[in-house]
Amino acid sequence: MTKKVTINDIAKLTGVSKSTISNFLNGKFAGMSEETRQRIQDKIEELDYRPNRQARALKSSYSSLIGILVTDISNLYTSRLLKGMMERLQNTKYHTLIMNSDLDEEYEQYNIEKLLDEKVDGIILQPLKAAAADYKTIDSDLPLVQVDRYLHPLIWPAVISDNAEQSKVLAEKIVKEGYQRIVILTPPMQNSSTRLKRYEGITEAIKETEIELEEVFTEEVKDLFTSDPMLWEKIEPFCRDDKKTVLYAFNGGLLYGAIKILKDKQIAVPEQVGVVGYDDGALGELISPGLTAIVQDPVKIGYTAADLLVKNIEAKAQKAELTVVDSDLKIRHSL
């Protein structure tokens, strides 16, 4: 059986002290020559040395672990958030624990407790609920960055899209196109700052018009390739009358789900009903007709959130403020 390489072995073979090796492994290079750094790196690679994370955590107040808790890992948008986070955290000293709430509030709390038990150095959280009081098990001093949405009151920093502004711009475009009714397709809004801000943008744009505003509350669309009969049951009345109507989907799953069911039911878009929304997977230009949609940048949002968390961990400080990442409105043929 091959003997496990230890920090003592690396120190002896490179001719430096154990404390120097420890500093190298923890990214502390002050006073360390480039030649020494390279010699240590070469020997670590040669011997395929892997530090014992648990032992290191016991000897310091840091675990080098970052916990990531998302709402629905199967969602296209969420997977792109994770891609951005991983791009920032790769080649750093941090390991990641990725947890999935699966849209279940009790499971979310269970996962939070697991992350806290692991003594993570910080958390990136995509919260399911809206009230900060629901997350009181998390110490407010723990480095934490909210992503995609944020809690009220704002006690941790958050990285989000410009939801209200872009939603307002799209609604103003709808007004100019002469639509008489906007039908919002959304999961329940009360627990999501993101959805509430999108709704706020629409109402601001149409407040001095006679456009009707309807809300259709529906579940998240899990399967983008299967038509949802329940969704059709809810939107059919708006597709069958003479009032010029646009369906406004608050996420990519509902946007793709709506266009799929309309095609299956042979409802012409945009001749019989317009379709717009948030294109989480940036697939709007690949679908016929091309979808008028707000295209977010979840990779950048995820990267920015991870970058902010690392900086806050290392600075031992954080400010409860919003960082807004721009999105882009794409006007295509579905409006």
| Predicted TM-score (pTM) of this structure | 0.79
Q: For position 7, what pLDDT does the model report?
A: 86
pLDDT at 40 over 60: yes
pLDDT at 58 over 50: no
Domains of the chain, CATH where assigned = 7-51 (no CATH), 65-160+299-325 (3.40.50.2300), 163-296 (3.40.50.2300)
pLDDT digits (tens, 9 = 90+) for 270-299: 999 999 999 866 677 778 889 999 999 999
Q: Which residue has the higher pLDDT, 56 or 78?
A: 78
Mean pLDDT of 17-42: 87
CB neighbours (10 Å) of residue 297?
17
- Residue among 235, 247, 244, 322 nearest 278 (CA): 247
- Residue among 102, 103, 80 nearest 283 (CA): 80
CA–CA distance, 143 with 319 (Å, rounded to integer): 10
Mean pLDDT of 305-331: 96
pLDDT digits (tens, 9 = 90+) for 129-174: 999 999 999 998 999 999 999 999 999 999 999 999 999 999 999 9
Q: For position 190, what pLDDT does the model report?
A: 85
- Residue among 139, 107, 106 nearest 123 (CA): 139
